[in-house]
Amino acid sequence: MSEHLEHLEHLEHRHAPLQAARSHLRAVVVAGTMLLVLAACSAAGGRPSATPLFPDQPGPSSSAVATPRPSATGTLSASEAIARQLELDGQRVTVASGYWSDGSIQLLSDVMMESYPPQVPRDQSLILRGKVPATILAQLEHAGPGYADVTWGQVTVTGILHAGAARVPPILELETIGIS
């Protein structure tokens, strides 16, 4: 029995450097992942743009008016519009939801994560395409100095809904927008 214990102690002592190297490698991978996440969260950009995220989709509409026009479907949440995107494809819809932009993309989502500045899950969001008037942007929340350039707040948007496909989320082509 003591021979077996001695053999086990010898094996543990022999493999200690390998275990330490594995532990160090795990720490490096975790630290690298955390740095990537922090860099992604703090990336700054300009104001929302009308540049198409997906060039094969229809382009942005003309100017937005601050008073939303009603749609035939009534007012939907972003989640409802996403759930009904195939049924409502190409139709005018009104969506009351949270607006979020980091300057490179504009999203409408019913889910806003409690971080500062807040984040939204892209898989539960509509892409908002079109220029939001400066008068509306001025009424929304903006991240303070030293944070990523994020704008957010509650809005009501009327526009044409374009159903997503595969990994492309649905797009709401902005016609009118107002503060909710």
Please state the domain extents for the chain: 1-42, 75-179
Mean pLDDT computed over every residue of the chain: 75
CATH code, 75-179: 2.40.50
**CB within 8 Å of 176: residues ≥ 6 apart:** 64, 65, 66, 67, 68, 69, 157, 158, 159
Q: DSSP character for 48? A: -
What is the radius of gyration, based on Cα positions, of the chain? 24
* 84-122 residue pLDDT tens: 999 999 999 999 999 999 999 999 999 999 999 999 999
CB neighbour class for 97 (10 Å; exposed up to 12, middle 13-18, buried from 19)? buried
Q: Are 54 and 168 in contact (CB under 8 A)?
A: yes
Q: What does the pLDDT read at residue 143?
A: 95
What's the predicted TM-score (pTM) here? 0.62
Could you say which residues of the chain have pLDDT below 70?
A: 1-73
DSSP SS3 for 141: strand
Q: What does the pLDDT read at residue 165?
A: 85
